[in-house]
Amino acid sequence: MKRALITGVTGQDGSYLAEFLLEKGYEVYGLRRRTSTPNFENVEHIKNKIKWLSGDLNDLASLLEAVRLSDPDEVYNLAAQSFVAASWPQPIATAQMTALAVTNMLEAVRIIKPSARFYQASSSEMFGKVMETPQKETTPFYPRSPYGVAKVYGHWITTNYRESYNMFACSGILFNHESPRRGLEFVTRKVTDAAARIKLGLQNELRMGNLDALRDWGFAGDYVKAMWLMLQQNEPDDYVISTGEMHTVTELLEVAFGHVGLDYRDYIVIDPEFVRPAEVDLLLGDCSKAKERLGWKLEVSFKQLIEMMVDSDLEKARQQLSIAAIPQ
């Protein structure tokens, strides 16, 4: 039985990856940090199947111990401060969790189990002010946020460990991917949640930032399969994972509100609080390398994804209403 260690297992991608690997018969170890409020929401249904390890990205001792205890064949390094907007008010924490922590994790693997295959969660945010369109593995990076800068460090240190120590270390340059498990602060989930709540009378407006931004949005469940495929190849390498299609935030609003029979224009308020100091105007990925070499393919379209998220948020909002209706 193969063993995998996942950091960030309680997050969106970690939860889908854990499910996928459990279905493949892996023994899955999940690194979980001590937080003031334990977060199991995304993994509640598989909580008893994951072998839990306590650790923090910034605590090398805990990572060394996690690698020793799990003795992994594959390590998926997904944990990070992943919200771009938070990286301006918290640039140092972002550098520690999204950049330096990658070296902590690589060191833990190098010291304890150098033969383990390593996946690093790189990001299309590294392309930032894009130097060419569409973006592919060879497109130069031009990050536009402290988060993007931190991810560039994580990307290159992973390449460096591959070249310095001959480690099987890969980076997946993943474009935006979403799901009903996406955090409420990210634009897709913010919009699908608002569409559902406005429809049910739980909310009456939606405050937004730049509606012209263009993103290449895919489904997280499809993207975690690419992570696994990268670690099954004969040679380690980096791959862009994307849909090859882009949409504006306005189109996202149209699909989400349209699905519940509403016109988004009746509810939107533009609020400077959600406009970023430096914006990534456009992201569009060319994933032909992943399609050709990994045989990876997309299964969920943009419209299906957004409608799936709205349906899930409608269900959650209805549950909230039915709980509120129970006499106390």
**Which residues are identified as catalytic?**
123, 125, 147
Site string for ligand G4F, 156-185 (x = CB under 6 A): -------------------xx--------x
Site for ligand G4F contains 123 (CB under 6 A): yes
Site for ligand G4F contains 84 (CB under 6 A): yes
Measure Cα distances from 298 to 127, 168, 249 in Å: 22, 25, 21
Residue whose CB is less far from ligand NAP, 176 or 310: 176
How far apart are CB 71 and ligand G4F at their closest, in Å?
30
Site for ligand G4F contains 312 (CB under 6 A): no
Site for ligand G4F contains 118 (CB under 6 A): no
Of 2-10, 52-60, 121-129, 310-318, the window that binds ligand G4F (rule: CB under 6 A) is: 121-129
Interface positions with ligand NAP (CB under 6 A): 7-8, 10-14, 33, 35, 39, 56-58, 78-82, 97, 121, 123, 174, 176-177, 183
- Spatial contact of 40 and 80, defined as CB atoms under 8 Å apart: no
Site for ligand G4F contains 283 (CB under 6 A): yes
Which one of residues 3, 32, 162, 190 is an interface residue with ligand G4F (CB under 6 A)? 190
Q: Which does 14 bind (CB under 5 to 8 A by kind): ligand G4F, ligand NAP, none?
A: ligand NAP
Site for ligand G4F contains 187 (CB under 6 A): yes
Residue whose CB is less far from ligand NAP, 50 or 97: 97
DSSP bridge pairs for 219: 178
Which one of residues 13, 19, 27, 125 is an interface residue with ligand G4F (CB under 6 A)? 125
Please say whether the dihedral angle defined by the alpha carbons of residues 228, 289, 163 and 94, taken in this order, is positive or negative: negative
Residue whose CB is less far from ligand NAP, 81 or 243: 81
The closest of 154, 134, 158, 138 to 146, measured between CA atoms, is 154
Tokens 């945010």, residue located = 125
Spatial CB neighbours of 224, under 8 Å, sequence gap ≥ 6? 13, 16, 17, 20
Q: Which does 56 bind (CB under 5 to 8 A by kind): ligand G4F, ligand NAP, none?
A: ligand NAP
Residue whose CB is less far from ligand G4F, 72 or 134: 134
Please say whether the dihedral angle defined by the alpha carbons of residues 123, 105, 228 and 233, taken in this order, is positive or negative: positive
Of 14-22, 38-46, 47-55, 205-213, the window that binds ligand G4F (rule: CB under 6 A) is: 205-213
Q: How many other CB atoms sit within 10 Å of the CB of residue 192?
A: 30
Q: Which does 39 bind (CB under 5 to 8 A by kind): ligand G4F, ligand NAP, none?
A: ligand NAP
Residue 19: which H helix or E strand, with range? helix 12-23
Total binding residues toward ligand G4F, as defined by CB under 6 A? 23
- Spatial contact of 145 and 88, defined as CB atoms under 8 Å apart: yes
Please say whether the dihedral angle defined by the alpha carbons of residues 312, 256, 194 and 144, taken in this order, is positive or negative: positive
Distance CA 7, CA 10 (A): 8
- Spatial contact of 78 and 7, defined as CB atoms under 8 Å apart: yes
Output phi, psi for 134, to 5 deg. -75, 165
